Amino acid sequence: MIRSTARLVCTVFVVLILVASSVAEAAQRPNIVWIFSDDHACNAIGAYGGRLQSENLTPNIDSIARDGIIFDRAYVGNSICAPSRATLLTGKHSHLNGKFDNRGGFNHDQQQFQKILQQHGYQTAMIGKIHLNGAMQGFDYWEVLPGQGRYTNPQFITTEGKTQYEGHSTDIVTDRALNWLDNGTDDARPFMMMVHYKAPHRNWLPAPRIMEKFRTRTFPEPDSLFDDYAGRGIAAHKQDMSISRTMTMASDLKVTPGSDRAAYLAEHKLEGDGLIRWKYQAYMQDYLGCVAGVDENIGRILAYLKEHNLDRNTVVMYSSDQGFYLGEHGWFDKRFMYEESFRTPLVARWPGVIKPGQRNHDLVQNIDFAETFLDIAGAPIPEDMQGESLVPLLKGETPDDWRRSLYYHYYEYPAVHSVRRHEGVSDGRYKLIRFYGVDVPDGEEWELFDLKNDPNEMNSIYNDSQQSARIKELEAELDRLKEYYQVPEDGGLPLRGTSSDEKKPNANAKTLKFEFQQGANVTTGMAPFLPGRGIRLTVPLSYSGNDGVLIAQGGASNGYVLWIKGGLLHWTVTRNDVAATISSEGKLPLGRITATVRQDKSGEATIALDDQQVAKGSVNGSFLAQPFDGLSVGEDSGSLVREFSTNRYSDKVGPVKVQLVE
């Protein structure tokens, strides 16, 4: 009995030592704070230099670079929001993680780095914008914006439902992140926290305190503001993302009745190049104001880490889901493989590991982020992840076999901004791009750029006979990368015609007609294409007193919904986070009825019941962009256009007829 007791005591003692050792080891592993913004161009970060360097826009981001490392050649594999975030989580290109574009869902059940961190003792949290529909996995805590989210008084989704906070989204994302650090973590285990800002995404709405400071500032113009695309092919000529044509006065530039900007334009009667220059300045004031708000809040996070003695054992990394055009080529937005949108910022600080003031020139890509987090944490990196850990580069050591080229593939066409599908390869100096598919001459068109001699990519040299050998080398490298990354033919996503296929009418026709049954859940690519058109809905329904959604397309940033609440019929349209609603004057009669909504391109709308008009009003303009979420009948199945006490409509509705008119 004495020997048994002694053995038991010894065993317990050994177990306690092992547990204590495991806890101590976990405590020594660094915390990870990953800060991510939306559409932040390298040109809008002081540490990267460029024409805006002297504007002192990002002192806190610059301090991360100063105390650590800045990556000069960090790139994405698909320059658009949701696919970039899917790559961040999975360490895989779009064709393997299944998130090709902003349309449709995301398979949360697949392997993601945060799930592995969780399994290896890390506390994990995701706060802010993720732009991937569905419940997050692998996070001890998550609180995310629905879809694009709102700048003002945003809603957040958690496992417990939705909560709305008063204030500006950039400030509130930081508030919620610091709240998790205060109340959601324990000292025994390291944490990995992802802080994702909506800013500086379109429609570029800074917090009022910052907006006031920026409205009088003037910023230098890019050399290519008035680019005529003479040296490039159809994709550059036919895009729809120009400051001159695409940028809207009311929503994008805040030219609303009674505003200072409206008064200025009324007085000065600007047109032509003068108007473009004015629009560029207004755009920069708002966009860079959003950037300043992000930087200010990063300062809050850095101050918190220092105040709580967490800074010495915490890796802080900052990046964006892709770059953005700040007037270069006369554009805003992203999508192209051209440098401004292909390239993304990446800075990191890791006290005791990263030597301060480092500048790295190796080719890195967002497929590397997941592997880097796992390597930092000492967790295993799955073999099917497609990137490489950046930890050796963080330590100032470039492996001999580090990549010498990058693969890129953009899929979302036809869609908002009309950027043709393309794939390409870049070795850091030369870039070969293949535009392909519908609306491309002969099915494909190639461009080649020499970034050393033509850093602004103004002139393709693909047709230069002296480049034939180089083109063959780059084509071979493109084929090698596609084989290495297991890319199916044309990326693995079936081509959609401008809608000449059987699933979608001709999008260029003057009148488009659709019919949808109850329960329909149509992806964005197959849903009616709304920008610049009027709409007419004919909705037969049975009404027995129940509330619910009859038809919805889009989400809280851009979309429409026809819904019933309290016996009244409501038509709500959202445009860049702003909702406008008209409602019927009297309650619906019980029984079988037909509701008709008509809205013209100016935003004037009417509602009729059995051909009797019951509501009339304005929703403040036409649809500006194709919504990121699809269409559904009998419920709002995407990121919601608005909040509903009852979403699903329990009575019969449909078939719903949708007609779009030029």
Of the ranges 91-105, 246-260, 359-373, the best mean pLDDT one: 359-373
Residue 93 lies in a domain: yes
**pLDDT surpassing 50 at residue 422:** yes
Over range 123-134, report the average pLDDT: 95
| DSSP codes, 206-264 | --HHHHHHHTT---PPPTTTT---TBS-HHHHH-S-BTTTTS-TTTTT---TT-HHHHH
pLDDT score for 547: 94
Of 20-24, 173-177, 244-248, 295-299, which range is least confident?
A: 20-24
| DSSP codes, 567-615 | TEEEEEEEETTEEEEEE-SSPPPSEEEEEEEEE-TTSEEEEEETTEEEE
Domain that holds residue 447: 410-492
Task: Report how far residue 122's alpha carbon sits from residue 171's, in angstroms, rounded to the nearest whole number.
Answer: 26
Same-domain check for residues 421 and 551: no
pLDDT in tens, 47-93: 999 999 999 999 999 999 999 999 999 999 999 999 999 999 999 99
Over range 522-547, report the average pLDDT: 87
Task: Report how far residue 369's alpha carbon sits from residue 205's, in angstroms, rounded to the nearest whole number.
Answer: 29
Residue 326 lies in a domain: yes
381 vs 534 pLDDT, higher one: 381
Task: Report how far residue 651's alpha carbon sits from residue 541's, in angstroms, rounded to the nearest whole number.
Answer: 8
Q: What is the CATH number of the domain that holds 600?
A: 2.60.120.200
**pLDDT surpassing 90 at residue 109:** yes
SS3 of residue 154 by DSSP: coil
Task: Report how far residue 540's alpha carbon sits from residue 530's, in angstroms, rounded to the nearest whole number.
Answer: 22
Same-domain check for residues 391 and 420: no
- Domain tally for the chain? 3
| DSSP codes, 478-518 | HHHHHHHTTPPGGGGS----SS-STTS--TTSSEEEEEE-T
Over range 109-122, report the average pLDDT: 98
Same-domain check for residues 387 and 414: no
pLDDT score for 23: 44
27 vs 605 pLDDT, higher one: 605
Same-domain check for residues 388 and 346: yes
pLDDT score for 24: 46
Same-domain check for residues 208 and 181: yes
Residue 179 lies in a domain: yes
Task: Report how far residue 127's alpha carbon sits from residue 129's, in angstroms, rounded to the nearest whole number.
Answer: 7
248 φ/ψ angles, rounded to the nearest 5 degrees: -90, 150
Contacts of 542 (CB under 8 A, 6+ apart): 591, 592, 651, 652, 653
pLDDT in tens, 639-651: 678 778 888 999 9
pLDDT in tens, 563-614: 999 999 999 998 766 788 999 988 899 999 999 999 998 889 999 999 899 9
Same-domain check for residues 166 and 303: yes
Same-domain check for residues 356 and 433: no
SS3 of residue 319 by DSSP: strand
Residue 346 confidence class, pLDDT cut points 50, 70, 90: very high
Residue 500 lies in a domain: no
Same-domain check for residues 416 and 377: no
Same-domain check for residues 44 and 192: yes
Residue 12 lies in a domain: no
The angle that helices 272-307 and 169-183 make with each other, rounded to 10 degrees, is 10
Residue 626 confidence class, pLDDT cut points 50, 70, 90: confident
pLDDT score for 643: 75
Distance of CA 188 to the CA centre of its chain: 34
**pLDDT surpassing 90 at residue 494:** no
Same-domain check for residues 178 and 313: yes
Residue 235 lies in a domain: no
Q: What is the CATH number of the domain that holds 391?
A: 3.40.720.10
Q: What is the CATH number of the domain that holds 470?
A: 3.30.1120.10
